[in-house]
Structure 1
Amino acid sequence: MTTLYGISNCDTIRKAKKWLDAAGVEYTFHDYRKNGLDRDQLESWSKELGWEALLNKRGTTWRKLPDDVKASVDESSAIELMLEQPAMIKRPLLDNGSTKALGFSDKQYSELFA
């Protein structure tokens, strides 16, 4: 089963959901804020995808952090930040059982579900 992880009010999540619906892909949506996120899962994603890729440095939540926090972030502190503030996780994160993908593009999803 395919699971789409993210935050429901995210524009990119809406685009990914629209693509999946149009392609007839069955999926479940897991909202980090409403459904929570556990440390083991986040650490597993970090090992598989890399914490740098998982950490959304383009978002408002990251930009609001003090410069000293941003300058000293490492895997451990990044995981803590993402657990405290799930908006810092790049979205969407799609898990189709065999592959995990970060972000959304028509091309990427077309290749995943070819």
Structure 2
Amino acid sequence: MLFINYPKCSTCQKAKKWLDAHQVTYTDRHIVEKNPTYEELKEWHQRSGLPLKRFFNTSGMLYKEMQLKDKLPAMSEEEQLQLLATNGMLVKRPLIVKEDAVLTGFKEAEWEEKLL
């Protein structure tokens, strides 16, 4: 299982503590040092069944600076995936990727259901 996070993010820190407390084994990946590629994002989006907007870090400074709230609706899925692949700070985190699930953000109930 892949745990993609930004170590300075308090939600990511909370999620990591949760994984460790529940003895869930994972591979840690720093989202800025190793940004998800276009191919990875495309595959994860398809496997997740989630709307693509859920992969965007809508509360992030970069998202707001780029005024993506207004721009995303006019962009194709392809353009949105390409944009996400340019900068890890645009991607919602933490991100869990495993064989049968892709989870964005940290929602304890959802993680309990899918990871335990």
TM range (shorter): 0.7 to 0.9
Partner of 1:35, secondary structure, is coil
Aligned length: 113
Counterpart-to-counterpart distance in 1, 2:73 and 2:111: 33
Percent identical pairs in the alignment equals 24
Partner of 2:85, secondary structure, is helix
Q: Describe the superposition over 1:66-102 as per-residue Cα deviations: whole angstroms up to 9, x where unpaired.
A: 4664553331221222111211111111123221111
CA contact (8 A) 2:6 2:12 kept: yes
- Measured on the aligned residues, the alpha-carbon RMSD in Å equals 2.0
Q: TM-score, normalised by structure 2?
A: 0.82
Stretches of structure 1 lacking an aligned partner (at least 5 in a row): none
Stretches of structure 2 lacking an aligned partner (at least 5 in a row): none
Q: TM-score, normalised by structure 1?
A: 0.83
Q: Which residue in the other structure is 1:36 paired with?
A: 35
Q: Which residue in the other structure is 1:88 paired with?
A: 90
**Change in 2 beyond 3 A, CA 1:18/1:45:** same
User: Shift of the alpha carbon at 1:38?
Assistant: 1.9
CA contact (8 A) 1:55 1:78 kept: no
